[in-house]
Structure formats: structure tokens, C-alpha cells
DNA sequence: TTGTACGCGTTATCAT
DNA sequence: ATGATAACGCGTACAA
């Protein structure tokens, strides 16, 4: 009995599919298929007796409706597609979790696609998504190629973009202004007497947008052009340590650092401690994301908090409204952000 | 022009659906619908001329096949459902990311469902999943109610369980032994001279399984029964700090702690430092998960590493094989784990 | 209150 | 090498 012998599926699994249909239930209950359908979708004007009969038949057969047939007939798939760069990385997680839950509560399911980093893969993904005829698409943290955006738009499927307040949304948008984040953090630091600002960021678009307004605002406030260092995404703790070392070597008078993620900020805090640099005394540190450990660090991390779950819940609301053709209160939902002031700055 | 006026969908979005069908393409190309279908699925014995004609028509119409119709006709949905307790929390993320990617490479899409913590919700989720007629289901870190397992099994849909090496798998299983983890960590600590072991864990089944073998092995090695503290999932850094404080208050002679996640371990390290406790001198700390920051901590965290992406990739392989009715090398894939020894123990 | 006919978009099967 | 026909499971529109 070699362990490596091939293993067939269990005998009780006949095939990938459920065989009970409306017709089977109807036959068992002694009614027409249509009546069974009505029991499921509009039981109000059926006799109590037939409803009971049919319910019993459904129960005993274990019938579950086939949503492919439903979708084909009604052109409503009750499926929403979510596109994000990658599932790895904690930033969008809360949003996707809340989105999934919000959709489930409204009777919709979520299909996920990772656009990844190749645009060939992205093209395939778009085709796969369109072929499913989802009732809506939620884009999260994705900047598509123009061609991709064109195809998505041409499909006629409602689209909600999230996490970004771009100047020209495709349709609905749920997010916050990264420009405002950069500006406010710069004001915050300068307001607390910092003079030599720096930024350590990941090389993604959103981080870059925060950087430009951070820099612009710093100049406007008269503390000169900040220094910036970018690391390739996903930015991790180790990058923070390393980058701080390099940055301080070149700019030892830096007195404030804005990190584009709390993970980077944690690395900065650890490296600062290793070098005996006083935080916030000599160096102020501000993170981004308010991850669950940030309040517990020593010193506790001052950071920018964004309500990820709220974005997901709002996105669920918006995309379902669009799917049903219902009007929306507004096109742009700005969920804002807050600077959570703790000990590190 | 009130800002709060309701906003209708853009005019160019007529409805949720794509209107081009096989028939339209066929008409444009001057062939039958069947021929178009063949161009897409079996172009080998068609004349080069018709293939070219049809390809052109597909291109110019932007035709994308409707997978609901495909699924209905062929009873293959090319959809895989994944069930996990919650998307929030970094543990299963790598697995789900690799699963999504592995499925996409094989021409399958992933639908996600969160079983959450209520069994009513779980029941609804199971119905929703079955109604989609997925070609397979991947269960991750979920222990279903008996009723739920029964319904899933009765659906006849292939199932792959992951992250767990349970004694009685439904069918295929990809994971590792949590018992072995508990045993090996205990041996590791005792082998390095530790005498008073403790464990801080989340109150989930897997963590509990690690605990029992951790305790059993410790007793067998002659260091007596370890102390345990459990916190409600999801276990976070703050829980680690707090729990260490309480634990040391009652058991000041504890000299080794096994944490059920690296997040908890980070909390323990921070609290230890705050209390001036030498790690690993007076207290050895071992984590679980090898999160991306763990190697960068000070002291670097000794932890148990599990290859999450490999579990996802293997799960993709297994579920697709089962979906296609192909034999599998074995029913149980043990991906194992390693204790990554760093400075903290 | 319940049933019949038809069509959603695709592919298996048989025919040419 | 290509076409005609039927069927997948369900819901709309009508009829009874």
C-alpha cells in the first residue's frame, strides 16, 4: 500500500454538481415548477396548503436554487467583483472584510481579483471579470492602464473606486484626499516646532501624492524642502530601519519623519532606539494607517487613521445602489482621516 | 444646485449588462453561432479564413463570453469558493493571496465568504455558496458545525480543508500538525534549559490544540505543567502586554513564553522591556507566524514559521484537480513548519 | 390561485 | 469544415 498511490475522490462525491432542480421539487410536491418558484420568490398569493407542501419538498430534497440559471434569465448575477493590487498587505484588508460582510447582508457575493503588477495579467483579469457579468465592480487602490479603464467603462457595469480621491472618478468614489493628509501632517509637525522634515514612503501613487502636498505645504510654511526616501512596495519594518539609517547619515539634522505606513514607522522607532536617538525629543515620528499595534508601541505612535471598514461598508452601499439603478446621495464620499496624536510626535 | 441632490448613474451606463452575444458576433461574421463558439473553444479544425473572420468580428464587437450561460450549459462554473472566519487578520492572507493567484493561473476565479462567528450566518453562507455551484470549496481555519459540514458534503462539491491537520478530513487536507508545533516548541525551550514554561494564546481551536500538546510534552520532559492564559481572538499586541503583566504577577518565576501569534509576542517583548526584564536572559519568548516585522525586532523574535503561500498554492492545485476529477497524489499534504531561532529564545 | 410557453446565452450532438 | 436543434434551470408574460 504505497503512500504515494493516487487517490480518487470519495465515492459519495459523484460529480461537481447538484442534481436537484425546481422540476424535481415540483414533481415531489405535485405542483408545477412555476409554483415552486413562486414559493421562493413571492409566496404572498399562494394557498397556505401548497406553500406548506412545497416547503416540505424543498426541505426533503435539500434543494438550493441555481444562481447561474437565475442570472441568465434575469441578467442579475448578484455578484460583485473587487479588484485590488494584492491581497497580501494589511492596508485594504479591513475594507475588503467590511465590503464582503456588507454585500452578504444585502444578498450579494464577492469575487476577488488581484491586478498584481503586470498589465498583461490585468488585462486577463478584466476579461475574466466581465465574463462573470457582475452587477458591480469595486476598485481598491488600483490605477488601471487607460486601456483597462476604457474596457471596464465600456462594459456598462457600475464601478465604485475606493481609497482614493482622484480628480476624475469613473463614476462613484469612496475615499479621502491623500493631498490633504500630506498637507495636514506637515502643518502638524511645523506647528509643533519642527524645522527639518523628512518622509519615508513606499513607491506607490498614493504615497507619492501625499509626498507632493507634504513638500509643498512645508515650503509654504517656511521650513524649506523636506527630504524624501522611497522604498519599493510593500514597505516593511526592515525598510524603515535601513532607510532611517541612510537618511540620518546624510541629513543628521532631520527632526521629523512622516512614514507612509505604520510598519515603516515601527522600523524607524526601533532603529532610533538602537541608535540612542530620543523620540520625540530629537526626532518626531508620524505613521500612516494606525495598525492595531501602533497605540501600544513605546513611545506610542502618532499616526494618521483612516476608517477602512467604513470605506468597505460605504462601497457596499454604493455599488448595490448602482446595481439596482437607485440614485445615490452624491458621487463622492469623503470619509476623511484623523491625525491620532500620541507620544512619538 | 444643491450638493445633496441625488445623483443618477452616468448616461453611458445603460444597465448592468453587456449586450453582445455569440449570435451578434456570428451575424457580423456571416457564420452560425456554433462556429463562433468553436473559434473560441476548439479552433483546430476550422478553416483559417473563418477563424480570421470571426476573430475580427469578436474584436470589433468587444464580445466577452457569458460565463453564467457557459456554467448552465456545461455544469462547470470555473468558480471556487473560499470560506474563512474573517478577512481581517494577517494569518490567512498569504494563503488566500496565493490561492487567488494559483486559481487565476488555472483559469478559475475565487469567491470569498466569511463564516464569522454566528452559526446562523454560517448557514446562510453555505446556502449562498451552494447556489453558485462552485466547482470546489476551500475551507481555511474553519471548524463548521456538524450540520454545516453535512450540507457541504451532501452538495457533492469537492472540498479542500487547509491550515489544519485534523484526524478526520472531509476529503483533501493541506496543512500542518498543530500538535507537532506545541510539542516541538516545548522540546526546544526545555532543551535550552528552561524550566517554567507558559503560553499566551488566542482562544481558537488551533491555538488550543497547540496548547494541549505543549503542556503534555512539557510534563513528559519533567518540567511540570506550564501556565496558560487565553485572550479572545483576534489577539493583538495590547493583549500581549497586558497578559504578560498579569501572568508574571502570579508566576514571577516563569522563564519561557510561547505566544500563539507574533503580534502577541511583540506585546510581550515591549512589556518585558518596559519592566526591565532581560530577554532572553531571564525570559525566553517564542512567537508563531513569523510576520514580516519579526526578524527586525530587538531582540529578533524566535518564532514558528508556516509557509502560508505554499498552502494556498497547494490548495489551488488540489481543488482544481478534484474539480476536474483528476486523481491526487495523496489526500493529506503536510507542509510542516520550522522553528526560526533568533535572539529572543 | 395555479399552469403553459418561451427565452436568457451557451454547448453537445447529430447532420450535412 | 460548418450548421441546425435541443437542452441546461429559471422567471416573465400570459392564460386558465
Q: Do A236 and B292 touch (CB under 8 A)?
A: yes
Residue A86: helix, strand or coil by DSSP? coil
pLDDT computed for residue B116 by the predictor: 80
pLDDT computed for residue A148 by the predictor: 86
CB–CB of B195/B127 below 8 Å? no
Nearest CA-CA distance, residue A76 and chain B, Å:
8
Nine-digit cell string for B155: 452538495
Does A65 contact B at CB distance below 8 Å? Answer: yes
Segment (H or E) for B21: none
Chain B, nearest residue to A92 by Cα = B88
Closest residue to D11 measured CA to C1′: A73
Out of A6, A17, A241, whose CB is closest to B327? Answer: A6
Q: Is A332 exposed, middle or buried (0-12, 13-18, 19+ CB in 10 A)?
A: middle
Q: Which residues of chain A have pLDDT under 70?
A: 1-18, 117, 143
Q: Taking the C-alpha atoms of B27, B29, B30 and B32 in order, what is their torsion angle to the nearest 10 degrees?
A: -70
pTM attached to this predicted model? 0.91
pLDDT computed for residue A12 by the predictor: 44
Pairing label, strands B302-305, B338-340? antiparallel
Contacts A100 to B, Cβ<8 Å: 87, 112-114
Which of A312, A301, A214 is CA-nearest to residue A266? A301
Q: Do A93 and B87 touch (CB under 8 A)?
A: yes
Chain A, nearest residue to B292 by Cα = A236
- Measure, in angstroms, how far nucleotide C6 C1' is from residue B242 CA: 68
| Positions of chain D reached by protein Cβ under 7 A | 1-5, 7-13
CA A170-A172-A177 angle, to 5 degrees, is: 90
pLDDT computed for residue A235 by the predictor: 82
Which of B232, B235, B275 is CA-nearest to residue B252? B275
Which phi-psi region, left, alpha or beta, contains residue A89 (left: φ > 0; alpha: ψ -120 to 50)? left
Nearest CA-CA distance, residue A223 and chain B, Å:
33
Contact flag, residue A34 CB and nucleic strand C, below 7 A: yes
Q: Which residues of chain B have pLDDT under 70?
A: 1-18, 117, 143
pLDDT computed for residue A23 by the predictor: 95
Segment (H or E) for B101: helix B93-105
Residue A228: helix, strand or coil by DSSP? strand
User: How many angstroms separate the CA atoms of B333 and B318, rounded?
Assistant: 10
Residue A125: helix, strand or coil by DSSP? helix
- Alpha helix locations (H) across chain A? 22-29, 33-41, 48-61, 67-74, 93-105, 119-131, 146-154, 178-191, 205-220, 237-250, 262-274, 308-323
pLDDT computed for residue B302 by the predictor: 98
Q: Do B131 and A13 touch (CB under 8 A)?
A: no
Number of Cβ within a 10 Å radius of residue A289: 21
User: How many angstroms separate the CA atoms of B61 and B52, rounded?
Assistant: 14
Contact flag, residue A48 CB and nucleic strand C, below 7 A: no
A6, A40, A66, A232: best to mutate for the B interface, most B CBs within 10 A: A66
Q: Which residues, at least 6 apart from B278, have a Cβ–Cβ distance to it below 8 Å?
A: B272
CB–CB of A289/A283 below 8 Å? no
| Positions of chain C reached by protein Cβ under 7 A | 1-5, 7-13
Chain B, nearest residue to A150 by Cα = B62
Out of B18, B267, B274, whose CB is closest to A130? Answer: B18
Contacts A330 to B, Cβ<8 Å: 3-4, 7
- The radius of gyration of chain B from alpha carbons, rounded to an integer in Å, stands at 27
Which of A126, A199, A64, A206 is CA-nearest to residue B134? A64
User: Using the 8-state DSSP alphabet, how is residue A295 labeled?
Assistant: G
Q: Which residues, at least 6 apart from A123, have a Cβ–Cβ distance to it below 8 Å?
A: A147, A148
Measured between alpha carbons, how far is residue B88 from residues A40, A87, A235, A290, A293 in Å? 34, 11, 19, 14, 14
Nine-digit cell string for A226: 523636506
User: How many angstroms separate the CA atoms of B174 and B331, rounded?
Assistant: 8
CB–CB of A8/B330 below 8 Å? no
Closest residue to C7 measured CA to C1′: A73
Cis status of the peptide bond prior to A18, with omega within 30 of 0: no
- Measure, in angstroms, how far nucleotide D16 C1' is from residue A327 CA: 40
Amino acid at each position: 500500500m504505497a503512500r504515494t498511490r493516487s487517490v480518487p475522490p470519495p465515492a459519495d462525491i459523484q460529480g461537481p454538481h447538484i442534481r436537484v432542480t425546481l422540476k424535481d421539487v415540483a414533481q415531489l410536491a405535485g405542483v408545477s415548477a412555476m409554483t415552486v418558484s413562486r414559493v421562493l420568490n413571492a409566496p404572498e398569493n399562494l394557498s397556505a396548503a401548497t406553500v406548506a407542501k412545497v416547503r416540505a419538498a424543498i426541505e426533503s430534497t435539500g434543494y438550493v436554487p441555481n444562481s447561474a440559471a437565475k442570472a441568465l434569465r434575469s441578467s442579475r448575477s448578484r455578484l460583485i467583483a473587487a479588484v485590488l493590487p494584492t491581497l497580501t498587505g494589511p492596508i485594504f484588508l479591513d475594507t475588503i472584510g467590511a465590503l464582503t460582510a456588507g454585500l452578504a447582508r444585502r444578498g450579494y457575493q464577492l469575487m476577488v481579483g488581484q491586478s498584481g503588477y503586470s498589465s498583461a495579467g490585468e488585462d486577463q483579469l478584466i476579461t475574466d471579470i466581465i465574463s462573470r457579468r457582475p452587477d458591480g465592480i469595486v476598485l481598491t487602490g488600483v490605477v488601471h492602464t487607460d486601456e483597462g479603464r476604457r474596457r471596464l467603462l465600456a462594459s456598462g457595469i457600475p464601478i465604485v473606486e475606493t481609497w482614493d480621491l482622484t480628480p476624475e472618478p469613473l463614476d462613484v468614489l469612496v475615499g479621502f484626499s491623500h493631498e490633504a493628509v500630506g498637507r495636514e501632517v506637515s502643518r502638524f509637525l511645523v506647528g509643533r516646532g519642527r524645522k527639518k522634515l523628512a518622509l519615508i514612503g513606499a513607491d506607490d501613487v498614493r504615497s507619492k501624492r501625499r509626498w507632493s502636498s507634504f513638500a509643498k505645504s512645508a515650503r509654504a510654511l517656511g521650513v524649506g524642502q523636506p527630504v524624501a526616501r522611497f522604498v519599493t512596495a510593500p514597505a516593511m519594518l526592515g525598510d524603515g530601519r535601513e532607510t532611517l539609517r541612510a537618511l540620518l547619515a546624510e541629513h543628521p539634522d532631520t527632526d521629523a519623519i512622516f512614514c507612509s505606513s505604520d510598519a515603516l514607522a515601527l522600523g524607524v522607532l526601533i532603529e532610533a532606539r538602537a541608535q540612542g536617538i530620543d523620540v520625540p525629543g530629537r526626532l518626531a515620528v508620524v505613521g500612516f494607517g494606525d495598525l492595531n499595534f501602533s497605540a501600544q508601541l513605546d513611545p506610542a505612535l502618532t499616526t494618521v487613521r483612516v476608517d477602512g471598514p467604513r470605506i468597505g461598508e460605504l462601497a457596499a452601499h454604493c455599488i448595490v445602489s448602482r446595481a439596482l439603478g437607485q440614485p445615490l446621495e452624491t458621487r463622492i464620499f469623503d470619509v476623511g482621516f484623523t491625525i491620532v496624536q500620541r507620544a512619538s510626535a
